[in-house]
């Protein structure tokens, strides 16, 4: 009998563990993929299409922005975050929480930063001042 450490957690079983060990589950997955490769790849493609549709639906519902509006903004910003100018990640819609007006497209990191500072310019300036004051001299 294998020790518990060889089994992955599973929320829905009584003992909270999968019934197969990790090695057996991996072997099953490899075999399943080999036997059903086309179906697995099609499911992945349809999942991506579904996610993209849901993103578009969400933008339309929340901001009144259809996919062409989003693409126009991406092109206008050259595919870069409006704050840090990074082009490494997907862009999300930044909007004013009081008026609902769309300000631009930003990366997730910058969007979270704005949210953590409650979209208050004074708090953001204070944070920038703090970073400048406490920056180590190199």
What's residue 104's pLDDT?
Answer: 94
What's residue 84's pLDDT?
Answer: 94
Residue 107: Cβ-neighbour burial (10 angstroms; 0-12, 13-18, 19+): buried
**The dihedral of CA 107, 108, 114, 117: what is its sign?**
negative
Q: Which CATH number fits domain 78-138: 3.30.200.20, 3.40.1800.10, 3.40.605.10, 3.40.50.300?
A: 3.40.1800.10
Query: CATH 3.40.1800.10 region(s) of the chain?
Result: 78-138
For 67, phi then psi, to 5°, come to -55, -35
- Whether the CB-CB separation of 103 and 92 falls below 8 Å is answered with no
Rounded average pLDDT over 73-101: 92
DSSP-based three-state secondary structure for 41 = helix
Cα 109 from Cα 137, distance rounded (Å): 26
Cα 19 from Cα 22, distance rounded (Å): 10
pLDDT digits (tens, 9 = 90+) for 20-54: 999 999 999 999 999 999 998 888 888 888 887 88
What's residue 137's pLDDT?
Answer: 82
What's residue 102's pLDDT?
Answer: 93
- State if pTM tops 0.85: no
- Whether the CB-CB separation of 93 and 105 falls below 8 Å is answered with yes
């Amino acid at each position: 009998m294998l020790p518990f450490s060889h089994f992955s957690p599973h929320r829905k079983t009584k003992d909270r563990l999968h019934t197969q060990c990790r090695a057996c589950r991996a072997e099953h997955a490899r075999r399943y993929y080999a036997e059903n490769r086309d179906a697995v790849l099609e499911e992945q493609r349809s999942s991506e299409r579904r996610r993209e549709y849901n993103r578009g639906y969400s933008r339309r519902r929340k901001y009144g922005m259809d996919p062409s509006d989003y693409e126009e903004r991406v092109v206008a910003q050259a595919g870069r975050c409006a704050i840090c100018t990074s082009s490494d990640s997907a862009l999300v819609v930044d909007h004013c929480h009081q008026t609902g007006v769309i300000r631009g497209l930003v990366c997730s990191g910058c969007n979270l930063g704005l949210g953590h500072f409650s979209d208050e310019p004074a708090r953001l300036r204070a944070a920038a001042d703090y970073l400048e004051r406490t920056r180590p001299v190199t």
